A and B are shown apart, each in its own frame.
Chain A
């Protein structure tokens, strides 16, 4: 194994390659890698933030839903109460109306009855008079007995 100028040649080549690597290879690659690392870190960060805001939005939606549900329940309750109230009012009104109608009709009836009784009384009195006339064979003095007949009709 001879040591010779090859040594020097190799040394020179070595220095050239190191220089080349230092100048043209290492900086761009490491720079790109560092930048990508930064990008990835930023991306992960953004994803984290997005996930957190999504979580927030979910919570907000949940809260709003709950509010809306409560509101709806309240509205339904209100509507129910209103409906009940309306029904009750209608019932009351109907009852009053019915009572009124009943009252007026019973008054009418009473009036009719009184009227019928009145006319019947008159009729009975005249019938009785006619009967008595027949029985007594004629002449009962209308004028003399009208007072009596009126009393009779009054008692009927």
Chain B
């Protein structure tokens, strides 16, 4: 892993290992030395790089949009406000098209999801060895800079959406209405357990599919970049440039899909059946 001339497998595995801090049964609270130790830490561990980078990128997103909001004027917009308004308008239109209820939360939520995921995906376009090499020079062994290639990050956001789905379902339909929706359709009350199984799977599938779709796309893209990075340096651009250009499209699309699905799920939670 940390050897001077890693094999291809070691190289890839090294790049896919998070900087993990957690409680190890033998070493106590410490940074994990390699994937093995990280696995042994189980749930009581935290991916410092994922949390750090995602939080930093979230801050960047917030600052950009906060600056836009500070300069918000009904007069002639300029500079950062133009960019911010373009995104806000785009998100607002998406929400209006898909979500027909009234809620002060949905639109800002959609904007946050879109902006944050976009920022987190964006760092993927940095050269794949660049930041890890910098951190390695500073003495940090593992550094995975794209938070959305960590299932924890995507599942964390999906769980947030899931909580909101449950919350709005209960708020709009009431507990009885929500339970009824889960158990009394599609086959009527005589097939109640079957209905519950079907609807339950459908409900659980929402956050899981959200998380896995984003994670899978980003993880696979990252793997391709890693494989390209195994080529001789003078050949890498032949593949990495087209792949990166294609990924400009992918990172926006994935952020957009996550946002749209969130809006759809919350719209469904708002609808009576």
A contact set with B: CB distance below 8 Å: 1-11, 13-18, 20-22, 24-26, 28-33, 35-36, 38-39
A2 proximity list for chain B (CB < 8 A): 20, 38-39, 41-42, 45, 152
B92 proximity list for chain A (CB < 8 A): 30
From A6, A30, A32, give the contact of B153 (CB < 8 A).
Answer: A6
A8 proximity list for chain B (CB < 8 A): 156
B residues 48-73 near A (Cβ < 8 Å) are: 50-51, 54-55, 58, 61-62, 65-66, 68-70, 72-73
Q: Are A10 and B157 in contact (CB under 8 A)?
A: yes
A49 to chain B, nearest CB (A): 21
10 contacts between A and B (CB under 8 A): A2-B38, A4-B44, A6-B18, A6-B46, A11-B159, A13-B156, A25-B66, A25-B68, A33-B72, A35-B74
A39 vs B77: C-alpha distance when bound (angstroms): 13
B69 proximity list for chain A (CB < 8 A): 24-26, 28-29
Q: Are A14 and B157 in contact (CB under 8 A)?
A: yes
A20 to chain B, nearest CB (A): 5
Q: Are B151 and A26 in contact (CB under 8 A)?
A: no
B41 proximity list for chain A (CB < 8 A): 2, 4
B contact set with A: CB distance below 8 Å: 18, 20, 22, 38-39, 41-47, 50-51, 54-55, 58, 61-62, 65-66, 68-70, 72-75, 77, 84-85, 88-89, 92, 104-105, 107-109, 111-112, 115-116, 147, 150-153, 155-157, 159-160
A26 proximity list for chain B (CB < 8 A): 69, 88, 107-108, 111
With both beta carbons as reference points, the residue of chain B lying nearest to A20 in the complex is identified as B62
A28 vs B70: C-alpha distance when bound (angstroms): 8
List 15 additional A-B contacts (Cβ < 8 Å) besides A4-B41, A25-B111: A2-B38, A2-B152, A5-B44, A5-B45, A6-B150, A14-B160, A18-B108, A21-B111, A22-B109, A24-B66, A24-B69, A29-B84, A29-B85, A33-B85, A39-B74
A133 to chain B, nearest CB (A): 137
The 7 lowest CB-CB distance pairs between A and B, nearest first, are A10-B156, A6-B152, A35-B74, A32-B72, A22-B108, A26-B108, A6-B47
B88 to chain A, nearest CB (A): 5
A135 to chain B, nearest CB (A): 138
Q: Are B74 and A36 in contact (CB under 8 A)?
A: yes
Known: A6-B156, A26-B111, A39-B74. A17 touches B47 (CB 8 A): no
A22 proximity list for chain B (CB < 8 A): 104-105, 108-109, 112
A29 proximity list for chain B (CB < 8 A): 65, 68-69, 72, 84-85, 88
Q: Are B58 and A7 in contact (CB under 8 A)?
A: no
Q: Are B22 and A4 in contact (CB under 8 A)?
A: yes
A32 vs B73: C-alpha distance when bound (angstroms): 5
With both beta carbons as reference points, the residue of chain B lying nearest to A13 in the complex is identified as B55
